[in-house]
Structure 1
Amino acid sequence: MEKRKRIRKFSRVIIPYLIAELEMEINNKKKRIWSRQWLLRRQHGASATIIKELENEDTKEYRLFLRMNLEQFSAILENISAVIAKSDTIMRDSIPAKIKLQITLTYLATGNNYRTLQHLFRVSKSAISRFIPEVLDAVYSYLKEYIKVPANQEEWKVIENGFRIRWNFPGCCGVIDGKHVAIQAPGHCGSEFWNYKGTNSIVLMAIVNHDYCFSYINTGATGRNSDGGIFRNCSIYHELENGGILPDGGLLDEESHYQFQEDVMKLKRMFFCAGGENADGKCVEL
C-alpha cells in the first residue's frame, strides 16, 4: 500500500510537468512551409511580365522565346487546355494551362533546368517536373497528324519545290541528321548508351523540309550506335530502299560530294541531288 501511495504522489507531480514540457515543444516546433510566399506571387512571373510584353510589343522576340508565334501558341493551348488544366482547391489556386504550356515550351527551347524555370515563372520545380510530361503528351496527341512522312510523290514534290525556290537547291527532298541527347544512363546498362563524345545519350534522328519543319522523327536509339546503323533500322529506310516514294530526281548518288559510307546509305533514291542530273543519270556537283 505504501508503494502505491508513493507512486500516486509522484505521478501527481511528474505528469503535469511532462504535459507542460510536451505543450512547450509542440508550440515551439517550426511549422512546415506549405509553399514559399514568393512562389505564390505568380503575377510577377515571366508569364505576366516579359512574355506579355513581347506578345504586345515584339512579336519577333516572342517567337524566338517560345519558338512559335502567338497564333500557333493559342491554337495549341485551345486544344489541350481541357487535358492539362486542373481544378482550384480551398488550399490554393491551380497552375493555369497557359503557364504550363509556356513553361514546357521554354524548357524545350532553352534546355533550362527546373530550378531556373522555377525562378523565372514562380512555379515550384516539383510541380514543373510533374506537369511537363503531361503537357508533352497532350501536345503530341494534338500534333501527331502534323508530323508525318509525306505519303506520296506529290507531297515529296512540294518539299522539293520548296528547296528549289527558297534555297536554290533543286532535287533536294529533305535534310537528315542525328543529334545525341545527353542522359543519365540507367543502372546496370554497361556501355549501351556511351557515345563517341564521351557521354551517355539517346539519339534523335530526323528529316526536315525546306521550312525547318520535321518530316520524319526517330528517337530512342542508344548512343553507342552509329548514325548509319540507326538510319538502317528506321522505318523510312526500307521504304527508300524499295524506291518509288521520292519524285524523279530526288537522288543520292554515291559519287556526289556528300560522302556516305556505302554499307550505311547505299540508296539510289534518297534526299539530295545538288545540281540535277547529267546525260548518264548521275548527280552533277555544284
Structure 2
Amino acid sequence: MHSIAFRSVTEEVEEEERLMAQRVERRKLRDAINPFKLPQSLFEKYYRLNKAGFQYLLDVLTANTEAPKKAFAISPIAKLSGCLKFLAEGGYQTGVGKDCDVSLAQSSFIKVLTEVRTVFERHLCQQWIKVSESEEENRNIARAFYVKYGIPGVVGCIDGTHVRIIAPPQNAHLYYNRKGNYSLNVMLVSYSLFLHLSIFELF
C-alpha cells in the first residue's frame, strides 16, 4: 500500500519536473527570437509591415510598459511579434502559441494581447485616428441615428472588407491575405446617414 502511494507521489514529482523543464526551454526559445534577422520580404509577410514600422511600434510599446521584474518576463519584442502575427493571420490565439518564432502559450498570449492593445489604444489611436466632425455635427448625426434606429450615441459607422485584386507587379506580398489571394484591406467609415464615406486602405 505504501509503495503504491510512494510511486504515485514520485510520478507526480517527475511530471512536474518535466513540465517545468518544458517551460524553461520554451522561455529560452521565446527570449532568443529576433524578427529583425528575417529577410525583408519574409518579415513583411509575417507581420504585415516593414521593419521601420515594427521598430516604431516596438518603441511605443517599450516606452509605455513597465520594465520586466522577473528573470523570465516576456520581452516587448516577443509581445509585439506575437500580437502582430495574430493580427496578420486573423487566426485563433492557439496558432500564435504554437509558432516556433513566437512561442507564447495561449494563457500568456491573451494577457500580452490585452496589454499591447491597451498601450496602442492609449498612445497611438488618438494620434493616428481622427474624426473631423464638430460637436454640433456629432449631435445632429447622433440624433438622426436615434430617430431612425433607436440607438443612442452613434456618431458614425465603420466596416472593413477585402477587395480582391490581381497581384500587383511590385510588393505583391503586402497584398497577400490569409485566404490565399490578393486584396486591398479597406476600412469604410460613414459619419452620417447619407453617402458621406471615408475610405482607408490598410496594410
Confirm or deny a common fold (TM above 0.5).
yes
Work out whether 1:107 is the aligned partner of 2:86: yes
Please give the alpha-carbon distance, in whole angstroms, between the structure 1 residues aligned to 2:111 and 2:133.
Answer: 36
How far has the Cα of 1:28 moved from its partner? 3.8
Q: Provide the residue aligned with 1:146 in structure 2.
A: 128
Matches within 5 A, 1:18-33: 22-30=5-13, 31-32=15-16, 33=19
Please give the alpha-carbon distance, in whole angstroms, between the structure 2 residues aligned to 1:21 and 1:64.
Answer: 54
| Structure 2, gaps ≥5 residues long | 135-156, 162-183, 199-203
C-alpha contact (below 8 Å) 2:48/2:88 kept by paired residues: yes
C-alpha contact (below 8 Å) 1:85/1:96 kept by paired residues: no
SS in 2 for 1:29: helix
| Structure 1, gaps ≥5 residues long | 1-16, 153-175, 181-210, 217-230, 238-263, 273-286
Q: Provide the residue aligned with 2:20 in structure 1.
A: 34
Please give the alpha-carbon distance, in whole angstroms, between the structure 2 residues aligned to 1:27 and 1:212.
Answer: 55
Q: Provide the residue aligned with 1:284 in structure 2.
A: none
How many positions carry a matched residue from both structures? 147
How far has the Cα of 1:140 moved from its partner? 1.4
SS in 2 for 1:34: helix
Matches within 5 A, 1:132-143: 132-143=113-124
Matches within 5 A, 1:239-250: none
Residues 41 and 177 (structure 1), Cα distance of their counterparts in 2 relative to 1, 3 Å cut: same
**Greater relative contact order: 1 or 2 (C-alpha under 8 angstroms, separation 6 or more)?**
2
TM-score normalised by the chain length of structure 1: 0.42
How far has the Cα of 1:105 moved from its partner? 1.1
Once the two structures are superposed, residues 223-252 of structure 1 have per-residue CA deviations (whole angstroms, 9 ceiling, x without a partner) of xxxxxxxx6xxxx21xxxxxxxxxxxxxxx
How far has the Cα of 1:66 moved from its partner? 1.7
How far has the Cα of 1:82 moved from its partner? 4.2
How far has the Cα of 1:79 moved from its partner? 2.0
Q: Percent identity?
A: 14
How far has the Cα of 1:104 moved from its partner? 0.7
Matches within 5 A, 1:78-227: 78-85=59-66, 87-89=68-70, 92-120=71-99, 121-144=102-125, 145-150=127-132, 178-179=159-160, 216=189
Q: Provide the residue aligned with 2:153 in structure 1.
A: none
Please give the alpha-carbon distance, in whole angstroms, between the structure 2 residues aligned to 1:21 and 1:109.
Answer: 51
Please give the alpha-carbon distance, in whole angstroms, between the structure 2 residues aligned to 1:134 and 1:24.
Answer: 43
1:74 to 49, 55, 59: 55
Residues 36 and 21 (structure 1), Cα distance of their counterparts in 2 relative to 1, 3 Å cut: closer
Matches within 5 A, 1:37-48: 37=23, 38-42=25-29, 47-48=33-34
Q: Provide the residue aligned with 1:249 in structure 2.
A: none
C-alpha contact (below 8 Å) 2:60/2:123 kept by paired residues: yes
How far has the Cα of 1:128 moved from its partner? 0.5
C-alpha contact (below 8 Å) 1:149/1:215 kept by paired residues: no
TM-score normalised by the chain length of structure 2: 0.56
C-alpha contact (below 8 Å) 1:62/1:69 kept by paired residues: yes
